[in-house]
Amino acid sequence: MKILFASQNKNKHLEMSDLFLEHSKTHELVMANKDLNVIEDKETIDENAKKKALEYFEFFKMPVISDDSGLFIEALNGAPGVYSARYAGESSTHEQNIEKVLELLKNENNRNAKFQTVLCFYDGSEFLYSHGVLEGSITYQPRGSNGFGYDPIFEVRNSTLAEMSRDEKSEISHRKNASVNMIELLNEI
């Protein structure tokens, strides 16, 4: 079954497509040929993922998987959370978001954080959700040039995600955990 990935983020699509190729024999993830620019105005990543799935399904009329992810930092009471992509402002860059996080944490010893991803499948009649979490900590300065988003300041096992190869990152990724869980759910229907 072909399933539309409700995002124009090529990095996410590549990561997710690889996971579907590796773990699913019957499902293929395809990228949308148009970005619907769904406004993520909900209070949780689950609600945002559901909203995206509904809007993409209504437009494309095919089964959809949408995602929403967030960085949740203990010392910031879970921020940036649902606002991760626009933490430094509506049109902020990854670098500006990173700068804001590092500035807010500059005098903070507790640097515990986690990435969370939710995937939402919708086929016009049924919603399925899967979640993935990656625990880590926030560094004091960016390191590495791979990846995207907060990867240069998110450390796991003494390396930032941006210092890891794509394969290394995919092996531990919150998106991988959510994808594998989703593939298992899809195999049951």
pLDDT on residue 73:
98
pLDDT on residue 18:
81
- Report the Cα 156 to chain-centroid distance in Å: 16
The answer, yes or no, to whether residue 10 has pLDDT greater than 80, is no
Nearest CA-CA partner of 65 in 114, 16, 11 = 16
66: buried, middle or exposed (CB in 10 Å: 19+, 13-18, 0-12)?
buried
pLDDT on residue 173:
86
Which single residue is written with the structure tokens 């970005």? 35
pLDDT on residue 3:
93
What confidence tens digit (pLDDT) does each residue in 115-153 have?
A: 999 999 999 999 999 999 999 999 999 999 998 899 999
State the average pLDDT for the chain.
Answer: 91
pLDDT on residue 49:
95
Count of C-beta atoms within a 10 Å radius of residue 128: 17
Q: Which top CATH class is 2-188? A: alpha beta
pTM value is: 0.86
Query: How many whole angstroms separate alpha carbon 27 and alpha carbon 163?
Result: 31
Q: What is the mean pLDDT of residues 60-89?
A: 94
Residue 48's φ and ψ, nearest 5 degrees, are -65, -40
pLDDT on residue 7:
81
pLDDT confidence tier of residue 27, bands split at 50, 70 and 90: confident
pLDDT on residue 63:
96
Maximum C-alpha span of the chain? 50
Query: How many whole angstroms separate alpha carbon 85 and alpha carbon 96?
Result: 10
68 is a catalytic site residue: yes
User: Which listed residue (35, 46, 68, 123) is catalytic?
Assistant: 68
